[in-house]
């Protein structure tokens, strides 16, 4: 049996550990912090438990898939509530838009607030977002890419044809003429640290995950203490560790 050590019990390390365990490896997870979770941790202060990182989660099925690998049901581990509307935007002119996951309901609302033509543009933008997600996920995110050459796939040509390498702002403006809807469906690039006018349209995948696929909220904080849930029946071993190996950026502090 292969023995594997995973360094770091954040979402990435935990997901890798579950998948490796499911593939038959003997997995040990080393974590320098006292609890797993990484940035999805919570801080207790003055009797309140506060989420330090995610308060809402996108694509909850990725968590379910990782747990299903080791025969666990995500519902036994996490309570997730859909957040709908995902956002409520108030604009300077006094108008308001709720971001609804239901495309038809959202289009109706945009038609009421911004006009029928804008609603039509929204539907075209959602079609773009769905296609973008499909190609990016299938050909790049969900695939192992070991060399630049492997990036040169038919998926890349499809993304070019979709306009995924244009400026995000310009791509959105080709569908959304109203600055309110444009802001509502492009600001998500800021999550990756990029203003929409500096980002490629590729980053609109975050808008898809957020405003089209929808977000969920774990009501009892994003982080759940390790003793609160059941132990995986055939999951990895946990181990609290000192920082493992060399950490880039470490100073002599
Ligand atoms: C303020 C904030 C809000 C966010 N909001 C959202 C949100 O709403 N929705 C969402 O989906 N995402 C959100 N995120 C992003 C999400 O938290 C991260 O994408 C996710 O935590 C990344 O997981 P990771 O496992 O890659 O890294 P991390 O979560 O950083 O985990 C890495 C782990 O490795 C450990 N580690 C590192 N080096 C060593 C070592 N040498 N030895 C031992 N252990 C080590 C660390 O202690 C840590 O526990 C947010 C993040 C922040 C900071």
Domain boundaries, the chain: 3-81+217-240, 85-213
Determine if ligand 1 sits within 6 Å of the CB of residue 39. yes
pLDDT on residue 55: 84
Give me ligand 1 centre to Cα 111, in Å.
Answer: 39
pLDDT on residue 250: 32
Nearest atom in ligand 1 to 8's CA: 34
Please list the ranges in the chain whose pLDDT falls under 70: 220-253
pLDDT on residue 38: 93
pLDDT on residue 173: 97
pLDDT on residue 209: 95
Determine if ligand 1 sits within 6 Å of the CB of residue 43. no
Rounded to a whole number of angstroms, the distance between the first and last alpha carbons of the chain is 40
pLDDT on residue 1: 81
Nearest atom in ligand 1 to 15's CA: 25
Q: How far apart, in whole angstroms, are the C-alpha atoms of residue 65 and residue 124?
A: 30
* Whole-prediction pTM: 0.82
Nearest atom in ligand 1 to 246's CA: 41
pLDDT on residue 85: 94
Burial (CB < 10 A; 0-12, 13-18, 19+), residue 8, is buried
Q: How far apart, in whole angstroms, are the C-alpha atoms of residue 209 and residue 45?
A: 32
Q: Are 171 and 201 in contact (CB under 8 A)?
A: yes
pLDDT on residue 239: 61
């Amino acid at each position: 049996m292969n023995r594997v050590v995973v360094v770091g019990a954040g979402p990435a390390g935990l997901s890798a550990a579950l998948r490796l365990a499911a593939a038959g490896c003997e997995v040990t997870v080393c974590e320098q912090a006292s609890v797993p979770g990484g940035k999805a941790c919570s801080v207790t202060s003055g009797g309140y438990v506060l989420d330090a990182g995610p308060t809402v989660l996108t694509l909850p099925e990725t968590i379910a898939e990782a747990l299903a690998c080791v025969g666990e049901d995500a519902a036994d581990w996490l309570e997730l509530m859909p957040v709908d509307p995902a956002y409520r935007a108030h604009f300077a002119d006094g108008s308001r838009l709720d971001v609804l996951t239901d495309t038809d309901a959202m289009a109706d609302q945009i038609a009421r607030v911004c006009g029928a033509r804008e609603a039509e543009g929204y539907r075209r933008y959602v079609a773009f977002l769905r296609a973008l997600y499909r190609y990016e996920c299938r050909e790049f995110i969900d695939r192992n890419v070991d060399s630049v050459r492997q990036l040169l796939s038919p998926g890349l040509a499809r993304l070019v044809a979709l306009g995924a390498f244009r400026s995000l702002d310009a791509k959105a403006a080709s569908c959304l003429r109203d600055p309110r809807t444009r802001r509502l469906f492009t600001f998500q690039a800021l999550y990756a640290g990029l203003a929409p006018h500096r980002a490629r349209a590729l980053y609109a995948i975050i808008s898809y995950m957020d405003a089209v696929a929808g977000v969920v909220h774990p009501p009892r904080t994003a982080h759940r203490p390790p003793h609160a849930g059941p132990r995986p029946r055939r999951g990895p071993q946990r181990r609290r560790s000192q920082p493992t190996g060399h950490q880039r950026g470490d100073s002599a502090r």
